[in-house]
Chains A and B, each alone.
Chain A
Amino acid sequence: MSDAEEDAPFNNEGFEENEEVEEEEDEEEEENPPKPSRRDYDDDEEDEEDEEDEEDMGAERGKKRPKRTKRSAVGRFLDVEAEVDEDEEDEDEEDEYARDEFVVGGEADEDDLARRAADHARFDRRERELDDQDLAKIAEDVSQRYRRTAVRYSGDMSDIPQRLLMPSVHDANLWQVRVRPGKERDLVFSLMRKAIDLEYSNRPLQIVSAFQRDSLPGMIYVEARSAKQVSDACNGLVGIYPSRGIILVPIEEMASLLQIKKQDLTVTPGSWVRIRRGKYQGDIAQVMDITENGEEVGLKFIPRIDLNPKDDGSVEIMGKKRKKGPTGISSSSMRPPQRFFNYEEVVKVYGRKAVSKRNQVYVFQNETYKDGFIEKDFKLAGLQLDNVNPTLDEITRFTHGQDGAENDANVDLSIIAEASRKAAISVLQPGDHVEVFEGEQSGVHGTVHSIEQDIVSIQPVGVDFDGQRIQLPARSVRKRFKPGDHVKVMTGQNADETGLVVSVSANVVTFLSDMSMQEVSVFSKDLREAAEVGTGTNVVGNYELHDLVQLDMQTVGVIFKTERDSFRVLDQNGQVRLVQPHQISMRRDSNRAIATDAEGHELRVNDNVKEVDGEGRKGRVLHTHQSFFAFLHNRDYNEHGGVFVTRARSLVSVAPKGNIMKLGAADLSKMNPALSGGAMGGMVGSGNIGRGPRDRLIGVPVTVVKGPSKGYIGTIKDTNGAIARVELNTGNKVISIDKMKLMWRKPPTGVLEPLENAIAGRPSQGGGSTRTPNPYNNRSSFGQRTGAQTPWDNRTPAWETNRTPNPYAAAGKTPAWNAASRTPNPYADGGRTPAWNSASRTPNPYTNGNASPARPAGGAWGGATPGRSGWGGAASPRQTGWASPARPSGAWAEAPSGPWLLKTVQGEPPLSAPTPGFAPYTPGADLGVTPAAAATPGVFDAYADLRTPLAVFSDHRNAVSTPGVSVGMFANQEGEFELPLRWLLETDISNKRGMMVEVRSSHGANGWYNGEYEGKQGVVLSIFDTHSEQFPSTARVQFPEPLDPSQPIIQVPVEVLAPIHPEKPNEEVLILHGPQKGQMAKVNMVEPGGTMVVTTRMFVVEEITSDKLVRIQADV
């Protein structure tokens, strides 16, 4: 029988029915097409209908019958039928049959509405009369009827034992489908809706049911006859993964899927819970009562009342005069601390009217407070019922209640004891020392031998038991500790603390922490004997001990103690706060913060300082804040983990400091490139050591000359590569803009100049032309610069060659140029380049010796002194870096050497010429590694002075020939050889002739003959050393294949001439380097690796690499 059939007779008059059906169920509407014509007067009956609905119920129970008299005959009739249809649609089939008899009769009369209505009315009237006559009988009828329907409703099902409902092979199967976790319920609903939607379509879903269990995340189960039906049903739904397999659930497992029972978390009054969310998140609370349906529980816990309310308004609204908070530090963002409700305190802050008192209970802000506790109803879902693990502290807090008064009545310790006992079972391990504290064996102690579920077998200690084991319920034993044991806390707030047990009372153990030297009481279950000394965790979340953290806009603090998931923070006002990681907005980096101490010296992190006033405490600077507060640390103070805060101005350095700042201020002339000669100027500025990197463009006034902001004036606030952040004077806006679009507004006049000028024009910031005050890196950058800028050195190659083999670049870390140009701080820079690092850190034996004699160029060099010391040390580490065979030795040795030598020779050999002077610094590391470079007089200046008296330097040629120097320094540097650029001007070489040379590096703007002679080979006829920078030293070279045949002999600048190395035995050579330098020799043997055995004309046999040799054309 279908609804349509049922409904058919009523459709004549059954508009109400129709309407309602339509409202609630689309499906019914389909089956039961509405008849518009009948609809017209539905509306006015609708209200009545609701009424009737209610009445129906009453009527059914035989209570409201009299009301029926009010209705029309039709209404009455409909009512009876509608009621059946609505409420018992499919349940009371037999009943319906009986009615259908009648209904069918009605249907037959369909064409005659009036007659039928009359019939119905008559029937109804009869029935009503019946009712009136015998209410009792009616009541019985009704109950009879409902008994039957109710039996239908669950009767035949509920009597069947569950086991008879087990699935059989005839039942549809269950299929497990993977879904996106969290989407299970949605997908079950989706499947349901989809099934309904497609029910009357061409392809209805074939699945029978679908379900999901909360305890089985990531999967749903679909009941269907085949996997295909399942995949059809799943097709098109989001979050369902049929591709991951539609797995058949074995029949025997089907029932268990529906029997999964979550562990019941029952709450009973008195038990402990934690609050999951909100202001009281994580707080412990005690259950007082539970609502009937178990959804809400009444809790009692310690309130957190904000006694420093921030918002005036809220207080004003309440019409209260607010007393100002004692500290004025608003703490609205902070969670107020737990504190028992205190009427006086609250009234003081919020006013008398805010709190009302009823009986023993205070009401404040719609919350109820009793005995200091807040009493509030919570939904069960918002509570954590398991793993509550109340700590002893929390329980004690509860127990003592307000004012520290004993409040035992309110707290039942047995519950927590029970809980802790349960937990204790799980933490027992074989070998643990336990004692029996209840039962017959009470007092016995021993070691745990084995554990089986709840039964532990222990090996008792004592005379009475020799060797026998006793078995006990786990709950009646507890771990046993005795004073003197060294223990470690395994779980809880004090996890990982270790210490020495000082006292034991029942299951509470008190020990003296190794870390804080304070007594800590914990449950014995949380303890384990341990030999190690725990450090505790110093890291919670992203923060660790001694971090400077931002608490709110005004407050920063230093973490001085980390707890399990919170910190103790000492803020700048000296107050201690307990904060959780999420309450920290950020970590502050004070490494670059500047503060000055009492003497005006810079105060930096890690300085050891002491207070000049007050307590005179000493400590190491952890952080400085706003140049005013300094957070210090001293292990000797127990308070706050040794961290304290003081004013930076009241500190002085314990160790006398080099007057770094004063030095910088003292000799400004050295920092001014205009005052120091020529290119040398770049070397100064090392006085700025210690100042962090800072782009000199920052702070420069600029005008935007392109783009949408064109015409705006602003100041550069920050730079990042080619982008500058400019704070516009207008609109208080900071924009990011390409530096190309900016022009410098030269201060006094506002004349626009390119931005680069701004850098050069602000000399006080650093070393003018080289942009870098870094003495270390300076050397390389400086050398490069020199090569490029010095007029007489008209060769770009010099630049190029220096650059290419740049040790910094080769080291793979910091391009020298960049490093040099950006980093005024040698130490900071050193951190990036390992070689430098070690150099600058290792004590350098040459440091002192270097200082004065290594200043060939005079005063301007002064700033470089520290640099050199570092550099000297750097030589050795660098060397190893260079010794790597990966380096193409040939190219390296030759390319730069020519120009170098020439340069050297050209420069005034003694100290007067700046060229040799700074030559050693030029390719910083090159010099360190290559003997050839060392051949440069300048280098020798630098090195020689380490060992030899100053006098040696008066003539550096002597210095060069000093065997001690060359051998001593470079003896172990075989294989690393760099011929100076101006090798032809070297002592003992410049007076020779016949050297075979090749023109190299003659290209470029400063090139020679535009590079036309590049690669040409020739023979040196003579060398003309001008001993001057101004006039290039030249060599007369005869070219066998000149460009211009008429001029086979040309004057060639020495810089472009590179030696031709011998390759074969029996070639005549000139030794360019080594003890036999300047000697003519003959190659005897060529050994692999370019090593040659030569015999000089003095019959000295020497083993030497070919790059230290130049071929000689003997017949010139």
Chain B
Amino acid sequence: MSGAQAAIPPQPRAKQLRACLLCSIIQTPADFRKHGCPNCEELMQMKGYTDRIQACTTTHFDGVIGVIDPEQSWVARWQRTSKYVRGMYAVRVKGRIPDDVEAELESRGIKYRPRDQSEQD
């Protein structure tokens, strides 16, 4: 089992829980600010930047997945999070990553898959 793990938000009810637009991990804004996104920080650059967090994460998500063993989990694979850290993920996240990140992804030849399930293949 991988040791990497995201901060688990203490209060599931908290309204301000935010999901990363790219990897769909759910954290509190404080965690995002303190540690950034555990999966895609190097792209998103959220750590310490509140406005960046606002742009790269959203409160509009539906469904919460507790991924306990990402490697073993089909759910995580389906969600394409099986290479990510353990933690809480959203099933569906509304919104798109900021343009600069999308451009960056494109420049690296990575296909961006929005997590709003608007594109299915």
Contacts and interface: CB of A to CB of B under 8 A. Distances in A.
A210 B3 contact: no
B121 interface: yes
Interface in B62-107: 62-69, 72-80, 82-83, 85-88, 91-92, 94-95, 105
Interface string B1-28: 1111101110011000000001100000
A294 interface: yes
A87 B42 CA distance: 7
Given A157-B80, A195-B66, A208-B75, A295 B92 contact: no
A163 B59 contact: no
B108 to A, nearest CB: 5
A377 to B, nearest CB: 14
Contacts of A172: 72-74
Q: Which one of A91, A191, A293 has the highest number of Cβ atoms from chain B below 10 Å of its Cβ?
A: A293
Interface stretch (A256-264, A625-633, A851-859, A991-999): A256-264
B5 A189 contact: no
Contacts of B48: 53-54
A255 interface: yes
Contacts of B86: 196
Contact of A57 (B45, B87, B109): B45
B62 A214 contact: yes
B2 A293 contact: no
A186 B65 CA distance: 11
B91 A158 contact: no
A189 B43 contact: no
Nearest to B89: A211
A255 B78 contact: yes
B8 A150 contact: no
Interface string A277-306: 000000000000000111100000000000
A754 to B, nearest CB: 62
Interface string A238-266: 00000000000000001100111110000
A482 B94 CA distance: 47
Contact of A208 (B3, B69, B120): B69
Contacts of A196: 5, 8, 68, 86
A27 interface: yes
A57 B49 CA distance: 12
A292 B55 contact: yes
B47 A209 contact: no
Contact of A192 (B23, B66, B117): B66
Contacts of A2: 3
Nearest to A160: B80
Q: Which one of B48, B63, B73 has the highest number of Cβ atoms from chain A below 10 Å of its Cβ?
A: B63
A185 B11 CA distance: 10
A293 B94 CA distance: 9
A208 B83 contact: no
Nearest to A154: B110
B64 A212 contact: yes
Contact of B40 (A151, A153, A380): A153
Given A149-B42, A188-B12, A192-B88, A261 B4 contact: no
Contact of B55 (A188, A261, A293): A293
A349 B53 CA distance: 44
Interface string A921-962: 000000000000000000000000000000000000000000
B91 A211 contact: yes
Contacts of B40: 153-154
A161 interface: yes
B9 to A, nearest CB: 7
A995 to B, nearest CB: 91
Contact of B88 (A31, A189, A214): A189
Interface in A172-229: 172, 174, 185-186, 188-189, 191-193, 195-196, 199, 205, 207-215, 223
A412 interface: no
B50 interface: no
A223 B3 contact: no
B74 A254 contact: yes
Q: Which one of B40, B47, B78 has the highest number of Cβ atoms from chain A below 10 Å of its Cβ?
A: B78
Interface in A425-462: none
Contacts of A261: 92, 117
A156 B82 CA distance: 11
Contact of B2 (A90, A147, A150, A262): A90
Contacts of A213: 62-63, 91
B42 A157 contact: no
Interface string A137-162: 00000000011011111111111111
B84 to A, nearest CB: 8
A1052 to B, nearest CB: 88
Given A196-B8, A208-B73, A293 B95 contact: yes
A502 to B, nearest CB: 48
Nearest to B91: A258
A89 interface: yes
Contacts of B58: 293-295
A28 B3 contact: yes
B59 A158 contact: no
B121 A207 contact: no
Interface string A605-633: 00000000000000000000000000000
A258 B66 contact: no
A151 B12 contact: no
Given A192-B66, A214-B62, A295-B58, A25 B5 contact: yes
Contact of B110 (A28, A151, A165): A151
Interface in A1-39: 2-3, 24-25, 27-28, 31
B111 A211 contact: no
Nearest to A212: B64
Contacts of A27: 3, 5
A258 B82 CA distance: 15
B5 A211 contact: no
Contact of B66 (A91, A157, A210): A210
A60 interface: yes
Q: Which one of B36, B42, B43 has the highest number of Cβ atoms from chain A below 10 Å of its Cβ?
A: B42
A153 B83 contact: yes
Contact of A186 (B13, B47, B59): B13
Contact of A158 (B43, B55, B110): B110
B111 A159 contact: yes
A595 to B, nearest CB: 54
A30 B68 CA distance: 18
A191 B66 contact: yes
Contact of A90 (B4, B8, B74, B79): B4
Contact of A209 (B62, B76, B85, B112): B76
B83 A152 contact: yes
A774 B34 CA distance: 84
A158 B88 CA distance: 20
Nearest to B2: A90
A589 interface: no
Nearest to B43: A150
Contacts of A211: 63-66, 75, 91
Nearest to A156: B83
B3 A162 contact: no
* Minimum-distance CB pairs A-B, first 10: A192-B66, A211-B65, A171-B74, A189-B12, A157-B80, A208-B73, A195-B68, A209-B73, A213-B63, A90-B4
22 contacts: A3-B4, A60-B42, A151-B108, A152-B83, A153-B39, A158-B80, A160-B80, A171-B74, A172-B72, A185-B12, A189-B9, A189-B64, A189-B66, A192-B66, A192-B68, A196-B8, A196-B68, A208-B69, A254-B74, A258-B79, A293-B58, A295-B58
Interface of A: 2-3, 24-25, 27-28, 31, 53-54, 57, 60, 87-91, 146-147, 149-163, 165, 167, 171-172, 174, 185-186, 188-189, 191-193, 195-196, 199, 205, 207-215, 223, 254-255, 258-262, 292-295, 380
